């Protein structure tokens, strides 16, 4: 199952959409560039398969 979620850029504070691939496990991390400032964000995703709640924490790559 794939769906979308939003995260806040660790650099500029803007909200960005991202896709969540539920088949990759309930805890994931990957790097995604902000669509506003183009800086790389490390995304840490956690989600509950029962409630479908997604939590995303971000930090700078450097």
Concatenated DSSP letters of the chain:
-EEEEEEE-TTT--EEEEEEEGGG-SEEEEEEE-TTT--EEEEEEEE-TTT--EEEEEEE--
**Residues 16, 10, 39, 33: what is their CA dihedral angle, to the nearest 10 degrees?**
-40
End-to-end distance of the chain based on CA atoms, in angstroms? 32
pTM: 0.86
pLDDT confidence bin for 1, thresholds 50/70/90: low
What's the structural domain count of the chain?
1
pLDDT digits (tens, 9 = 90+) for 22-49: 888 899 999 999 999 999 999 999 988 7
């Amino acid at each position: 199952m794939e769906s979308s979620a939003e995260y806040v850029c660790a650099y500029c504070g803007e909200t960005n959409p991202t896709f969540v691939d539920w088949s990759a496990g309930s805890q994931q991390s990957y790097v995604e560039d902000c669509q506003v400032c183009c800086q790389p964000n490390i995304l840490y995703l956690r989600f509950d398969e029962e409630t479908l709640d997604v939590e995303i924490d971000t930090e700078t790559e450097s």
